[in-house]
Amino acid sequence: MAEQVITATEDVFEEEEFSIASQWQLMWWRFRKHKPAIVSALILGIFYLLFPLAEFLGTGDPAQISEPYHYLRPQVIRFFDGGSFSPHVNGLRPYRDPMTFQKKYELIPDEKIGVTFFAKGFDYNFLGFIKADRHLIGFSDPETLEKRPSIFLLGSDSVGRDSWSRLMLANRISLSIGLIGVAITLVLGIMMGGISGYYGGWVDTIIQRIIEVKSAIPTLPLWMGLSAAVPQDWTVLQVYFGITVVLSIFGWTGMARTVRGKFLALREEDYVMAARLSGSGEGRIMFRHMLPGFYSHIIATISLSIPSMIIGETSLSFLGLGLRPPAVSYGIMLIQAQNPVTVALYPWLMFVAIPVIIVILAFNFLGDGLRDAADPYGK
């Protein structure tokens, strides 16, 4: 009996707390019940926190070509030697397989190259302007870099470039394209959808016809056509922003439809009418009174749009129509995995697909959680 009274009292307190909670509190309570979304948010947080640390985490210069170490298998750091803590990697001796004529490498057990934390390595600019040469992991003796350019944690590619260091840079470039592209999409979608839904009439008709025409064009061929128009003499930075614009300028239609629908539903509400009577301008009514009413839906839509941008960049770069070397992205790294024979012989070239899959799944799970949280009163 006493337990029933305690349970009933707790339920009353929960109902009271629920009734006085703000919209954002309700959304947070609903979101934290979605465990996959919480885990996905933590994973994506780690990926984006690594943005400024790409060079620091790299074990070698990602642009350095080293023919003697091409198609090198991933190397393992051994932290103990004879029972004592002594991080090292073994030396390598190249040889030619007499059966396949494939170049391979064998470990030299007696040759141990010391590895240490916060080691001195190649020079880079931290945050773009702070000169630095320290790395999380590197050779104890900096002179070793003259003989062996990297530890090669994930092996090397066809010209001997360190795959781990390149993957760190690819994370930054591919994920940032997703963020910048969605930011442009967000601005265009809110502006076009807001104008369409608020004014209605012939303005709404024209904007909706534009959206319908655009939606009738297949996305990938449209991206490919526009990407092929990017001048070949553009710098890496210009191509980066060009591809970002290509991915985003035609990706705003989904956001515009969402915003339009919300504006059509809200424009006759009492608080909107009160804002008009008080003399508020149309821009203020749209973006200060109506737009905050569905921020949660916009956030959920954004989280589901970023994976499309990342996949778009990866696809275009993989097809040779996106970013071009010396830039590094997921798609550029996957170019070398086009040949099935190459993948069969050097499977570590496909390691880059793992973070792509993780990021896409994480964004989808996060989007599902945010979409549920956007309706905190739902079941």
What is the per-residue pLDDT for 2?
Answer: 47
Task: Count the helices and strands in the chain (H runs, E runs).
Answer: 15, 4
CB-based burial label for 90 (10 Å; 0-12, 13-18, 19+):
middle
* Dihedral pair phi/psi, residue 322, rounded to 5°: -105, -130
Residue 164 has pLDDT above 80, yes or no: yes
The pLDDT tens digits of the residues spanning 246-270 come to 777 777 888 888 888 888 888 877 8
Shortest CA distance to 295 belongs to which of 262, 326, 265?
262
CB 197 within 8 A of CB 267: yes
What is the per-residue pLDDT for 352?
Answer: 86
The residue extents of the domains of the chain are 75-151, 166-373
Residue 86 has pLDDT above 80, yes or no: yes
Residue pointed to by tokens 């710098």: 235
What is the per-residue pLDDT for 12?
Answer: 46
Both tokens of 325, joined, read 């070397």
pLDDT mean over 139-158: 83
Architecture category of domain 166-373 in CATH? Orthogonal Bundle (1.10)
Bond into 221 cis (ω within 30): no
CB-based burial label for 149 (10 Å; 0-12, 13-18, 19+):
buried
Residue 5 has pLDDT above 50, yes or no: no
Q: Around Cβ 144, how many Cβ atoms within 10 Å? A: 18
Residue pointed to by tokens 């591919």: 174
CB 299 within 8 A of CB 207: no
Sheet holding 84-96, edge to edge: 78-81, 84-96, 103-126, 130-139
pLDDT band per the 50, 70, 90 thresholds, residue 10:
very low
pLDDT mean over 296-315: 80
Provide the b/e sequence for 49-81 (b: ≥16 CB within 10 Å): eeeeebbbbbbbbbeeebeebbbbeebeeeeee
Compute the distance between CA of residue 342 and CA of residue 236 in angstroms, rounded to an integer: 28
Kindly report the pTM of this predicted structure. Answer: 0.82
The pLDDT tens digits of the residues spanning 12-65 come to 445 556 566 666 777 777 888 888 889 999 999 998 888 888 889 888 888 888
CB 327 within 8 A of CB 173: yes
Compute the distance between CA of residue 379 and CA of residue 366 in angstroms, rounded to an integer: 18
Strand 130-139 to strand 103-126: parallel, antiparallel, or no bridges (unpaired)?
antiparallel
Q: In the beta sheet, which residues pair with residue 24? A: none
pLDDT band per the 50, 70, 90 thresholds, residue 376:
low
Quote the DSSP letter at residue 143: G
CA angle 208, 210, 216 (to 5 degrees): 100
